[in-house]
């Protein structure tokens, strides 16, 4: 089956308009869910989850929607949106990702990238069959579509900015105003992306031609990469592997070379024997690339294994081990095809690619779910090393346990704080728990001198603060031991922390009502169970109050959050400058 024999879908003229309209509506909805002018919007995980569902489902629908079995395509798009939304929700959104948890989102995205051409093939066949030519064509066509759609969307934005500048020359700034609105930009992006996807999907032959051109261009690079990798492996016979162990990036570079070798080798062999390059240098280059995959993967595995043996498991090392395992599986499969097929090795690799895609898709989906927790595995390993004495408490990476290992790391720290086998372990665990970012431990002297949050005066009445609020204030709010610090909390979702360190020291000849004192106020907002400092709400006031007035108001609890009305200059309906009273 050649590329021309792959099923061509009947034109669907209405699809472009449908996708453009749906893209605009989805963009408007996403802009409201991610409204940056409402601080609670980004803190609310449900908003982010809904936005990820709409964004993912919309993009997948644009790629897969065909008149043939269109209900299948919509169901697949909805399922794709649910998968990424679930991963987003489970990990708490980007602001809540700890260490390498973002790789879960990458795994979910990889699952969809691989699953899309598999689904498209099954939909076209009407049954669970995966002929390689169809899978290959859909995979490469999706890549071409993505590049063209993103390029077209960029051109639309550039054209709109040009139009805005054109009308601005004659004093009409309405278009320029629209281009500064998030909701309009999201709608424009959605409609442009959806519209061009619909137009391109009705031109299968054009996409096939572009795909062949892209594969031909990539195939030209095969001899260069093949020669480079062969020389590299030959050089290792004389240089040894020691230089690799001295670097921090050996595994990532080797895995990137493996990915490049797989892509370029498949660009040369095509999806059927008729499309395989006839030039001998190309065919030998593809065979060489297929042959070096396994040695490169083995070297990467040794590199990762040495670091794990020396320093134990961490989430990032487990992710590296996963990628190395996948690369090794591919290397073995390609090596077997080379040995068995020899001159016709490509005939064995093509169906093998489908099986590898299904395996990797399944692994990626598994890793995107909470079923496998690299944080929990790493926590057990690292804590065991600590408690067995393999590593001293002062050399233990407490910051990684606090910020890279997820909830399991925090639970382990709480246990070590109470049940640690030595006083040093209990002390280090307590300090790690008190840190609110990974850089807090860089200044231990500040932590020693800082006043404990528990000693702050709480207004309007002295009540215990929630544990999470204590931790948030301790990490974001600095209160010198000699200062008066206060917390204003009435049991809702807003808390204020106030210090008077901005008040200049009084001199003997300074009258008590002299102006020049400004309290330092920080606002904390609760969303779910977490408290977040709202930096965007704080700005230095231009009013400097007398010191005695500030002290009397703060000590007496005369602090409140009010709804205020302010004025702002508007020119031609557009706001200018900052609001003022």
Instruction: Write the DSSP assignment of 63-121 as a string of letters.
Output: HH--STTHHHHHHHHHHHHHHHHHHHHHHT-GGG--TTTHHHHHHHHHHHHHHHHHHHH
Q: Do 173 and 127 sit in the same domain of this protein?
A: yes
Query: Which residue, of 369, 388, 423, is where some domain finishes?
Result: 369
CB count, 10 Å around CB of 562?
4
Regarding whether 113 and 262 lie in a shared domain, the answer is: no
The pLDDT > 90 percentage for the chain reads 24
Residue among 536, 565, 547, 471 at smallest CA distance from 504: 547
195 and 337, same domain (yes or no): no
Give the integer Cα–Cα distance in Å for 23 and 447.
50
Task: Please say if the pLDDT value at position 100 is more than 60.
Answer: no
Q: How many CA atoms lie within 13 A of 37 on its CB side?
A: 5
Whether omega for the bond prior to residue 460 falls within 30 degrees of 0, making it cis, is: yes
Residue 57: pLDDT above 60?
A: yes
Is the same domain home to 356 and 385? Answer: no
> Within a domain: residue 8?
no
Distance CA 430, CA 509 (A): 46
Predicted confidence (pLDDT) at residue 503 exceeds the cutoff of 70: no
276 occurs within a structural domain: yes
Question: Is 183's pLDDT higher than 80?
Answer: yes
Average confidence (pLDDT) over 246-251: 78
Domains: count for the chain: 4
Distance of CA 231 to the CA centre of its chain: 36
User: What is the mean pLDDT of the segment spanning 350-378?
Assistant: 87
pLDDT tier at 464 (50, 70, 90 boundaries)?
confident
Structural Rg of the chain based on CA atoms? 30
Q: Are residues 521 and 416 in the same domain?
A: no
The residue-averaged pLDDT of 106-123 equals 89
Average pLDDT of span 257-273:
88
Which is more confident, 317 or 535?
A: 317
Percent of the chain with pLDDT strictly greater than 70: 77
Q: What is the pLDDT, as a whole number, of residue 264?
A: 92
Q: How many helices (H) and strands (E) does the chain have?
A: 21, 7
The predicted pLDDT at position 542 comes to 43
Query: Does residue 122 sit in the same domain as residue 191?
Result: yes
All residues at 6 or more sequence positions from 181 whose CB lies less than 8 Å from its CB, including other chains: none
| Digit-coded pLDDT (tens) for 442-463 | 444 334 334 455 556 777 777 7
Distance of CA 258 to the CA centre of its chain: 23
Domain region containing 573: 453-580
The per-residue pLDDT for 385 is 87
Say if 573 falls within a structural domain: yes
Verify that 390 and 364 share a domain, yes or no: no
Task: Label residue 554 by pLDDT band (50, 70, 90).
Answer: low
pLDDT of residue 58: 92
- Looking up tokens 């233990």, which residue turns up? 396
CB atoms within 10 A of CB 124: 19
* Mean pLDDT computed over 488-517: 63
Who wins on pLDDT, 261 or 503? 261
Closest C-alpha to 263, from 299, 228, 295, 289: 289
421 within a domain of the structure (yes/no): yes
Selected residue with higher pLDDT from 283 and 501 = 283
Average pLDDT of the chain is 79
Is a pLDDT exceeding 80 seen at residue 480? no
pLDDT at 540 over 70: no
pLDDT over 90 at 348, yes or no: no
Q: What is the pLDDT of residue 8?
A: 62
pLDDT of residue 344 exceeding 70: yes
pLDDT of residue 501: 46
- The residue ranking higher by pLDDT, 536 or 493, is 493
Which of the listed ranges 10-19, 86-95, 159-168, 503-512 does the model predict with the highest average pLDDT? 159-168
Contact predicate 475/440, CB 8 Å: yes
Nearest-5° angle of CA 489, CA 494, CA 499? 60
pLDDT at 318 over 60: yes
46 closest CA partner among 106, 100, 88: 88
Least confident of 331-345, 380-394, 483-497: 483-497
Question: Mean per-residue pLDDT for 270-295?
Answer: 86
If asked whether residues 67 and 194 sit together in one domain, one would say yes
- Tell me, yes or no, whether 186 lies in a domain: yes
**What's the pLDDT score for residue 78?**
93
Checking if the pLDDT of 16 tops 80, the result is: yes
Q: Which residue has the higher pLDDT, 199 or 403?
A: 199
Q: Is residue 211 part of a domain?
A: no
CA-based angle 192:196:202, to the nearest 5? 155
CA distance 30 to 33: 5
Give a yes or no: residue 5 inside a domain: no
For residues 544 and 518, give the distance between their C-alpha atoms in angstroms, rounded to a whole number. Answer: 6
**344 shares its domain with 230:** yes
d(CA 208, CA 202) in angstroms, rounded, equals: 12
CB-based burial label for 41 (10 Å; 0-12, 13-18, 19+) = middle
Give the whole-angstrom CA distance, residue 492 versus residue 494: 6
- Looking at residue 1, what is its pLDDT? 47
187 and 232 share a domain? no
pLDDT tens per residue, range 208-239: 888 888 888 888 999 999 999 999 999 988 88
Give SS3 for 420. coil
Of the pLDDT bands very low, low, confident and very high (cuts 50, 70, 90), residue 482 is: low
Could you give the 3-state DSSP secondary structure of residue 35? coil
Domain co-membership, 478 together with 518: yes
The answer as to whether 540 is a domain residue is yes
384 and 335 in a common domain = no
């Amino acid at each position: 089956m050649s590329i021309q024999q792959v099923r061509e879908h009947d034109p669907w003229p209405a699809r472009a308009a449908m996708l453009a309209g749906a893209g605009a509506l989805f963009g408007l909805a996403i802009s409201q869910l991610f409204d940056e002018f409402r601080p609670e919007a980004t803190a609310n995980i449900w908003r982010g989850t809904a936005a990820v569902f709409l964004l993912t489902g919309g993009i997948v629908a644009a790629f897969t929607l065909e008149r043939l079995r269109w209900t299948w395509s919509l169901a697949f798009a909805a399922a794709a949106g649910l998968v990424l939304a679930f991963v987003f929700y489970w990990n708490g959104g980007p602001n809540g990702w700890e260490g390498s948890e973002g790789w879960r989102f990458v795994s979910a995205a990889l699952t969809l990238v691989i699953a899309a051409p598999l689904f498209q093939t099954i939909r076209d066949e009407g049954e669970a069959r995966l002929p390689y030519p169809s899978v290959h064509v859909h995979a490469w066509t999706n890549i071409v579509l993505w590049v063209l759609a993103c390029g077209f969307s960029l051109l639309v934005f550039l054209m709109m900015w040009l139009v805005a500048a054109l009308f601005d020359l004659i004093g009409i700034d309405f278009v320029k105003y629209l281009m500064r609105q998030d909701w309009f930009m999201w709608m424009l992006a959605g409609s442009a992306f959806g519209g061009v996807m619909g137009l391109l999907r009705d031109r299968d032959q054009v996409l096939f031609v572009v795909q062949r051109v892209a594969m031909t261009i990539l195939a030209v690079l095969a001899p260069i990469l093949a020669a480079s990798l062969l020389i590299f492996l030959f050089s290792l016979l004389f240089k040894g592997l020691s230089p690799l162990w001295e670097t921090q990036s050996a595994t990532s570079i080797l895995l990137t070379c493996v990915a490049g070798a797989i892509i370029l080798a498949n660009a040369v062999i095509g999806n059927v024997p008729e499309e395989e390059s006839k030039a001998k240098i190309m065919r030998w280059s593809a065979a060489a690339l297929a042959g070096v995959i396994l040695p490169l993967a083995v070297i990467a595995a040794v590199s990762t294994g040495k670091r794990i043996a020396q320093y134990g498991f961490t989430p990032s090392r487990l992710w590296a081990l996963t990628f190395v395992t996948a690369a090794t599986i591919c290397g073995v499969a390609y090596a077997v095809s080379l040995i068995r097929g020899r001159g016709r090795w490509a005939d064995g690799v093509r169906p093998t690619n489908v099986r590898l895609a299904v395996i990797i898709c399944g692994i990626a989906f598994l890793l995107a779910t909470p079923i496998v927790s690299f944080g929990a595995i790493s926590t057990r390993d690292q804590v065991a090393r600590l408690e067995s004495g393999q590593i001293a408490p002062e050399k233990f990476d407490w910051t990684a346990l606090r910020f890279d290992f997820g909830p399991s790391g925090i639970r382990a720290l709480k246990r070590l704080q109470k049940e640690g086998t030595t006083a040093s372990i209990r002390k280090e665990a307590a300090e790690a728990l008190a840190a609110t970012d990974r850089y807090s431990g860089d200044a231990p002297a500040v932590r020693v001198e800082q006043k404990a949050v528990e000693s702050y005066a709480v207004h309007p009445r002295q009540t215990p603060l929630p544990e999470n609020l204590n931790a948030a204030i301790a990490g974001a709010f600095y209160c010198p031991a000699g200062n008066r610090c206060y917390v204003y909390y009435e049991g809702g979702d807003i808390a204020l922390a106030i210090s008077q360190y901005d008040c200049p020291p009084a001199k003997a000849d300074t009258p008590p009502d002299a102006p020049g004192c400004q309290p330092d106020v920080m606002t904390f907002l609760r969303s779910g169970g977490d408290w977040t400092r709202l930096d965007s709400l704080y700005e230095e006031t231009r009013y400097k109050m007398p010191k005695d007035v500030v002290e009397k108001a703060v000590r007496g609890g005369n602090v409140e959050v009010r709804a205020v009305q302010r004025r702002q200059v508007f020119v031609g309906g557009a706001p200018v400058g900052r609001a003022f009273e």
